[in-house]
Amino acid sequence: MKNFILVLAMAAIAFACSNEPKNPLLGDYGTPFETPPFDRVKNEHFIPAFREGMSLETKEAEAIASNREEPTFQNTLEALDKSGIILDRVQNVFYALHGANTNDEIQKIANEITPLLTKHRDDIMLNESLFQRVKSVYDRRGSLSLTDEQAHLLDETYKKFVRGGANLSAEQKKRFRELNEELSTLSLKFSENVLKETNAFTLTIENKEDLTGLPQEVVDGAADAARKAGLEGKWVFTVHKPSMIPFLQYAKNRALREKLYTAYIMRGDNNNEYDNKRIIAKMAALRVERANLLGFKTHADYVLEQNMARTPATVYEFLHKLWEPALKNAAKEREEMQKIIRKEGGNFALAPWDWWYYAEKVRKAKYDLDENELRPYFKLENVRQGAFEVARRLYGLQFVERKDISTYSDEVTVYEVKRADGTHVGLLYTDYFPRPGKRAGAWCGGFRDQERRDGAMVTPLVTNVGNFSRPAGDKPALLSPDEVRTLFHEFGHALNALLQNQTYRMLSVPRDFVELPSQIMENWAFVPEVLGLYAQHYATGEKLPASLADKITRSDKFNQGFLTVEYLAASLLDMDWHTLATTEPVDANGFEQASVKKMRLIPEIISRYRSPYFAHIWSSGYSAGYYSYIWAAVLDADAFEAFKERGLFDQATAQAFEEHVLAKGATGQAMKQYMKFRGKEPAIEPLLKRRGLM
């Protein structure tokens, strides 16, 4: 043990000596709660900080591997869990910027550092001496007195090494490294291409008549976008959803709807320098080869071994159980819209770029509900405060804005999260508006995860990032119902990160369980009791009228056929890509077309994500896992039943959900944790009823 401590001490001294004071990413930040000092961080700091972080983690790993004492849980597993903290910190800061505030220089750094990081991770996972120590403890696990969390860490760490190639031959390890490096580089290139394609297209309107049908706030937003682009007196729309979706919903000009929608679905498929078809075909083939090396038939088999679903067959069976009734509902919705087209004298068949436009007409006709009636009551700041109030009533949390925390953009707001008694829980950074340097979509990330280090609580630094409607003209940011739902969704992820109470930072929940905390939060967004907390008119302060709240409730199954089908189509497309068994690249478009034909997707609906811009599965960790949202929807619908039965803010139910799901979801098997909360396995019927599928 003395030798082991000496090596670690030497590594710490080396770090102290090599830590140049000018690099703010290394050493103590000296900031409130040790938050990243964005006001001092420059792009030039990242490469040296990455190299120093990798060097330190290598020394820490070598110290563990070369320890001459018998391997124990403490000197091997716990030591591994404590290693790499500096590198993690640097990565968290850099990749937050890469996703939310990137530029050419940051992308250049990413291209340089990605292969180095991949090699570094492989060096640790393929360290034979290190693996043998982990294996030694794992082989003796039955005789060890471990807590459930410790046993779970041991099991997960051993699997991580095996899945990281530790059992491969020398020749196989060499190829495994090559595959990982090429895959990481291709994934990065894919992301850059999608961002550039997204930013490259604009629909510039010069004729005011082409704006017919658009709400005034949408017109004002397009005028603001034009002014920023130096196109005074014109109107600019983009394929960012806050700009595109309102245009598709309300613009009477069908040709322009088609032009905008086509630009969106053709991203990465334009046979230009940003084309992604060859990249994804190559990635799919390389993933198969890597899975084969590790003893799996397909990439999906490799991924799902770690998830609740376990096998591709289980996922397919689950998706197809939902597919038939959803497709039937979507076909009915299509016919309703086609009737409107005929009634208005149209002699054309409904097309994908028409769906949003005529769905709004159906909503108005069936429920007397116009989405634009709702937006004035959904001021972003009020919606966020509503989510905060739900968290206060459920978990006793308070959110206090902190203006002394440095951020990477002026559009970021920071909140200190506290318990009712004032105990510090963590920080939440919110960043809600689209900009050229931000990738599309919404996500929850962070600069530091919760853990217990040497018995002391390390509190999390969590981010919520979105691309919501910007303020337009003299109006504040007014959200669509879908954006309200997304804000609550990502906030649910944030609550999960903030309320975690685990010892070991290396533990994480399965991909198909991680969406439960986010999706259950969506349930509170539109219930009348919660609407009364936040939905008030931005100009008058008037509360959302009960008649409008009632319309929201009555229309809760509106368009669910479309929403479920476009999502399931993407999930099936993902599974089809990742149950490929060939190591030869396929024709990407031909493969996608065959997949769509096999699932019998109606032509009026396009998969939520087409392959060339399906970032979830090519660059965001959801490969063979996009089904996770609907899998978790079964869990969240079942879990919310408990709140409906006992009260939306029932303290005992909320406490049980926090204890077993939010706080401890990563510390044991996911289904066991869920059953500790619910007392039984989840039922699928609540989800089917919610979506009108039964």
Residue 421 structure tokens: 């008694």
Q: 3-state DSSP call for residue 536? A: strand
542 contacts 536 by C-beta, under 8 angstroms: yes
Over the range 191-225, which residues count as b (16 or more CB within 10 Å of their CB) and which as e?
A: bbbbbbbbbebbbebeeeebbeebbebbbbbbbbb
Give the number of other CB atoms < 10 A from CB of residue 117: 17
Distance between CA atoms of residues 456 and 618, nearest Å? 37
Residue carrying structure tokens 């087409």: 610
Helices (H), 229-253: 241-250
Distance between CA atoms of residues 88 and 50, nearest Å? 9
Residue carrying structure tokens 């139910």: 653
Quick one: how far is CA 118 from the chain centroid?
22
Backbone φ and ψ for 19, nearest 5 degrees, come out as -75, 100
545 contacts 572 by C-beta, under 8 angstroms: no
How distant, in Å, are the alpha carbons of 175, 189, 280, 516 from that of 182? 11, 11, 12, 33
Report the catalytic residues.
Answer: 490
Helices (H), 579-621: 588-599, 615-618
The CA angle 163-166-169, to the nearest 5 degrees, is 120
631 contacts 323 by C-beta, under 8 angstroms: no
The CA angle 124-126-129, to the nearest 5 degrees, is 85
β-pair partners for 238: none
Backbone φ and ψ for 463, nearest 5 degrees, come out as -120, 145
**DSSP element (H, E) containing 400:** strand 397-401
Distance between CA atoms of residues 662 and 492, nearest Å? 10
198 contacts 622 by C-beta, under 8 angstroms: no
- Would strands 397-401 and 451-453 be described as parallel, antiparallel, or unpaired? unpaired
Q: What is the dihedral of CA 555, 238, 484, 642, to 10 degrees?
A: 70
The CA angle 541-546-549, to the nearest 5 degrees, is 95
Over the range 596-631, which residues count as b (16 or more CB within 10 Å of their CB) and which as e?
A: beebebbebbbbbbbbbbbbbbbbbebbbbbbbbbb
- CA-based nearest residue to 163, from 315, 308, 299, 313: 299
Task: Sort residue 455 into left (φ over 0), alpha (ψ -120 to 50) or beta.
Answer: left
Crossing angle of helices 355-367/312-343, nearest 10°?
70
* Residue 570: CA count within 13 A, CB half-sphere: 28
Distance between CA atoms of residues 254 and 249, nearest Å? 11
The CA angle 383-386-387, to the nearest 5 degrees, is 95
